[in-house]
Structure 1
Amino acid sequence: MNRQFDLNGLLGLSGPKVWYSNINWEQTVRTRARLPQIGNAAGDRLVRRLDQHQLFLAGADDTVLVHEQPDETFLDYLRYCGIRLPRIVVGTRDDQADLFEGGTAVPYLVDEAEDRFLESLRCRRIGPPPGLALELNDKVRTRLLCERHGFTVCDGRVCDSVEALEASYLELSEQMPDARFVIKTPYGSSGKSLFHVYGAKDFAFVAAYLQRGEQRGTGEFAVTIERWHDIDYNLNAQLLLWNGECRVVAVTSQRTNDVGVYRGSDLSPFVPTGVRERYEQEMLRLGNVLLDRGYAGFLGVDSIVDRSGLLIPVIEINARLTMVTYMLPLRQHLLERGCPHIVTESFDFRHDREIPFHQFHERIQAVLPERRKAGTVELDGRSGFLCFGYHRTFDEHVGKYWHRAFVLAWADTGETVGTIMAGVEQAIGELRSVRP
């Protein structure tokens, strides 16, 4: 596949780069405000394997450092689809330190540990200053930043104690008696930092939980409570801040469930011209604020337009690479081929035995035989699918293998894309029924 997304050109760089991931970093950040959640070691292992998605943004001359060797059958499939893969090295940044000596690195996220490590090896970093990255990934401090600079924010408050949270909930629920509210803690992705409050009983439960954590925890206490807005457009902007300039690289739309957990993206959403222009103007304004703070590199911004037409340009900032960032070359390739509908979605399923990639893919082909060629021979068909991630691990709590597949589908119409994704869902349902 001829990927036209020229990252080196955008950055004004030449030469190979080293890509690596520290994707579960937020689990190491401790605050006194912690929400109830169930620990899931198997799920965390699957998330760590998302480092393989770096393969799609890295150049053919680059090196991608991954925690585990990808399935060779899956890599052969990507090559067959025309993906030019970079060099793949298995290990950690510490045991592969020679890769970084005097070079250029692209970490998933920059923190103080990454900064010290790369500086010790005289390795150039593509990414923001670590302190600024930590600040912007903090959902509470992001809201305060937006308030300071006059960006529209959700109805709500920042609270520095459980008592302040209780007072804010009382005030907001009196003003908006039928509203759903969401309490956010500073760090966490995929809904892990959110607690939805549908009424007084929900609030009493979470307030008591937070009170216990505040009493035994260390560090600052900070949460926000905000009204949950009904949404018309769930937007995401990919920004590149580099050499004093802000570029809006892509506007996409997140696909989430009713409680805000990410399921996939519409990479070419319909957004009315007026809404898009207002949104991009706000993104450029945000980018210039962050440039003044010294930001450099990619970031993703989650935003909404609610049912009343209110644009809330910053729900949260991901001061790092995101799932959409990795898909930018594939997105551009398909747009240039005239494919107006491009979506991604993730699918989870458990099985008594480990399902190899080739069996998963063969099942999809059997369900969608008319997509056989488009889904396996380069990304040149008018419609088709690409499995861009397939990860497996054993879930010791339920005694089954947990599988997670990531699928990209494209077509001339949204209906056809929906048919493809429905076919993937059907194939997974059939796999569940296969006896060990």
Structure 2
Amino acid sequence: MNSAPYMEHLTGMSAPKLWYSNINWEQGKAAQDIRLPQISNASRDRLVSQMDLYQIYLADRNDLVLLKEAPDPEFLSYLEEEKITIPRVAIGAPSEYTEEFRNRIAVPYLMDEGEEQFLKENGGRWIGPPARLSVELNSKIATRKLCEEIGLPVSDGTICEGLDAVRHACAELEGRHPGARLVVKTAYGSSGKALFHIHRGSDLEMLLGYFQRQISRGASQPVVTVERWHQVERHLTAQLWLGGTNCEILAMTEQRITDAGVYRGSRLNPELPEPLIAAYSERLQQLGKSLHTRGYRGFIGVDSILDEDGTLIPVIEINARLTMVTYLLKIRKHLLERGFARLETQSYDFKLQPGARFTEFAEKVKSIRISAEQGGAFLYGFHHDGESADRPRSCRVSTLSWGVDDEAEKRARRGLEEAIMEWRGAVV
């Protein structure tokens, strides 16, 4: 399904590449600054860290992919049965493979100062932006400043420094939009972890008290954005490739986002009105041109919204790194070329009971495949935490369903969900 040398054609680089991931970087970065109230979930973080496996879907055949831990062997067997071309895979930290870096072009998940120094010392070639730009643009606060500077529309709100500024900004927004939900964002954090929702005055007082306690323990004054939570008609995303002189729009997709701002899946080829595509493309090219002048090269993901009033806000945040959709670009291209216009991803979290084996689940998924002319389904991720198999374990299954039309795709997705529910011992 992913045999073509996609990256070689896209980048023009024929040298073999070395892929590695620091996928939980944003959580570590966020922990260095003042934090928002949230419930920690170590088990879920462990599942997320295993998603470095997705590098294999974008890597070319002769590349080397580094993983932090070995994938489930039954899942790897399933991928081979599904005709996924798996590059060479090695387990361990980049520091254990320094000789490999001298012979390959590195493709890190996200570049920061430590990664940049390491690569300069061990090969010096990589696909991606310089560290200073990567770290800056992954900040939601820096992104808002950039958009204001280059004239891109931004969400209704402001950047605040200090408790008094946060309180004042909330009062101003409440005055303009009585009763509206507000959201406070810190610079770093993903999948809703950098957001705090304010529904009423007591929420604001709780947040300010939480900040004050951190300040009393030595934290700096908070630097956050305070914004009105727009009612959204579409959660749009774009995957861009910034090469030598051009900005190529690789994909426009649509996210499924929970009411708390947590990502659940994507429509990889949504039907969008032509005027929206034209307006979105123009804004993305404006962003790409600006980033080019700043020295950015590589992949970049852009999150955007179309609110219920029809206003396009082209940049809500920037992912100056690889994303989950980036890793699926080659498979997406393959399915579109075969005529499957409807493509959906979805992740399911559940407790896996002792004795439940992945092969049983995979067989159920194979049995619900629709005919090749209509659609199908694929399990691109299976992750479980490192707890003992003698008791229930947290598990995540990531799926891709497709069809020639909406109905064919929905049949495939229903089959996937039924297979999850029927899988022995799985409780969704």
Q: Residue deviations 1:333-356, cap 9 Å, x none?
A: 111111110010001110332633
Gap change, CA 1:126 and 1:277, over 3 Å in 2: same
Q: 1:415 aligns with which of 404, 407, 418?
A: 407
Residue 302 (structure 2) pairs with residue 301 (structure 1): yes
Aligned position for 2:314: 313
Aligned position for 2:185: 184
Aligned position for 2:341: 340
Contact 1:246 1:287 in 2 (8 A): yes
Q: Quote how far apart the aligned CAs of 1:236 are.
A: 0.5
Aligned position for 2:267: 266
Aligned position for 1:384: 376
- Tell me how far apart the structure 2 counterparts of residues 329 and 2 of structure 1 sit (CA, whole Å): 6
- Tell me how far apart the structure 2 counterparts of residues 97 and 382 of structure 1 sit (CA, whole Å): 46
Q: Quote how far apart the aligned CAs of 1:157 are.
A: 1.1
- Tell me how far apart the structure 2 counterparts of residues 92 and 356 of structure 1 sit (CA, whole Å): 29
Q: Which amino acid aligns with 1:12?
A: G
RMSD over equivalenced CA pairs, Å = 1.9
Aligned position for 1:355: 356
- Tell me how far apart the structure 2 counterparts of residues 168 and 432 of structure 1 sit (CA, whole Å): 52
Aligned position for 1:16: 16
Gap change, CA 1:58 and 1:220, over 3 Å in 2: farther
Contact 1:102 1:123 in 2 (8 A): no
Aligned position for 1:377: none
Aligned position for 2:120: 119
Q: Quote how far apart the aligned CAs of 1:427 are.
A: 2.4
Aligned position for 1:329: 330
- Tell me how far apart the structure 1 counterparts of residues 325 and 271 of structure 2 sit (CA, whole Å): 17
Aligned position for 1:156: 157
Q: Quote how far apart the aligned CAs of 1:388 are.
A: 0.5
Gap change, CA 1:145 and 1:214, over 3 Å in 2: farther
Q: Residue deviations 1:7-30, cap 9 Å, x none?
A: 212211112100000011122224
Give the TM-score taking structure 1 as reference length: 0.93
- Tell me how far apart the structure 2 counterparts of residues 58 and 191 of structure 1 sit (CA, whole Å): 28
- Tell me how far apart the structure 2 counterparts of residues 257 and 340 of structure 1 sit (CA, whole Å): 24
1:25-36 mapped onto 2 (5 Å cutoff):
25-29=25-29, 30-36=31-37
Q: Quote how far apart the aligned CAs of 1:431 are.
A: 3.0
- Deviating more after overlay: 285-294 vs 204-213: 204-213
Q: Which amino acid aligns with 1:385?
A: A
- Tell me how far apart the structure 2 counterparts of residues 137 and 389 of structure 1 sit (CA, whole Å): 25
- Tell me how far apart the structure 1 counterparts of residues 110 and 416 of structure 2 sit (CA, whole Å): 32
Unaligned 5+ segments in structure 1 are 375-379
Give the TM-score taking structure 2 as reference length: 0.95
- Tell me how far apart the structure 2 counterparts of residues 202 and 420 of structure 1 sit (CA, whole Å): 42
Q: Residue deviations 1:196-225, cap 9 Å, x none?
A: 111112222112112222332445631011
Q: Quote how far apart the aligned CAs of 1:36 are.
A: 1.0
1:187-202 mapped onto 2 (5 Å cutoff):
187-202=188-203
1:76 match: secondary structure: helix
- Tell me how far apart the structure 1 counterparts of residues 402 and 146 of structure 2 sit (CA, whole Å): 37
Contact 2:211 2:222 in 1 (8 A): no
Q: Quote how far apart the aligned CAs of 1:430 are.
A: 2.7
- Tell me how far apart the structure 1 counterparts of residues 418 and 71 of structure 2 sit (CA, whole Å): 25
- Deviating more after overlay: 342-351 vs 415-424: 415-424
- Tell me how far apart the structure 2 counterparts of residues 106 and 417 of structure 1 sit (CA, whole Å): 33
Contact 1:32 1:213 in 2 (8 A): no
Task: State the aligned residue count.
Answer: 425
Aligned position for 2:96: 95
Q: Which amino acid aligns with 1:10?
A: L
